[in-house]
């Protein structure tokens, strides 16, 4: 069997469908973005491994990944499937964050030598302030 081209890890809410805000959000009401569906499925068909990771249900689970998985895995798996997404894996139980910093993240600041640019990372971190209006 041919090796896949690479592994692409996608978020769900706010990326492939709108982000719901507030307590007790109803994920069932969401609809996917058509362009996201076309592009992700196209990448799957080209031979990329597609993984979805979500922090859905982490609020309800009080940050317990295993509990979030128990509450939301089947629902989310079925929703992605019903929406028509082709994927290999789903992980429910990602940490909830206001900013995700990952050297393999799209747009992660890099220096000219390819190393992570910590001055830029620091400045981006300082922009996170949930106390701001
Ligand atoms: Mg998101």
pLDDT tens figures, 11-70: 999 999 999 887 777 899 999 999 999 999 999 999 999 999 999 999 999 999 999 999
Instruction: Specify the CATH number of the domain 7-96.
Output: 3.40.50.1000
C-alpha of 106 from chain center: 12
Taking the C-alpha atoms of residue 33 and residue 12, their distance in angstroms, rounded to an integer, is 10
Residue ranges per structural domain of the chain: 7-96, 98-133
- 60-112 confidence digits (pLDDT tens): 999 999 999 999 999 999 999 999 999 999 999 999 999 999 999 999 999 99
Distance CA 94, CA 11 (A): 10
For residue 1, the CA-to-ligand 1 centroid distance in Å is 33
Contact indicator for 51, 87 with CB cutoff of 8 Å: yes
The tally of CA atoms less than 13 A away on the side-chain side of residue 65 is 8
| Cα 53 to ligand 1 centre (Å) | 9
Label residue 2 by pLDDT band (50, 70, 90). Answer: low
How far CA 63 is from CA of 18, 91, 99, in Å, comes to 22, 14, 16
């Amino acid at each position: 069997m041919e090796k896949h081209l690479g592994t692409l890890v996608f978020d769900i809410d706010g990326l492939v469908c709108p982000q719901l805000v507030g307590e007790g959000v109803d994920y069932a009401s969401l609809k996917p973005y058509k362009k996201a569906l076309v592009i992700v499925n196209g990448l799957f068909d080209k031979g990329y491994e597609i993984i979805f990771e979500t922090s859905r249900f982490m609020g309800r689970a009080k940050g317990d990944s295993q509990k979030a998985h128990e509450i939301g895995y089947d629902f989310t798996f079925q929703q992605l499937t019903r929406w028509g997404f082709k994927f290999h894996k789903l992980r429910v139980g990602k940490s909830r964050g206001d900013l995700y910093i990952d050297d393999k993240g799209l747009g992660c600041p890099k220096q000219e030598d390819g190393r992570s640019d910590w001055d830029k990372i620091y400045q981006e971190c300082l922009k996170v302030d949930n106390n701001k209006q």
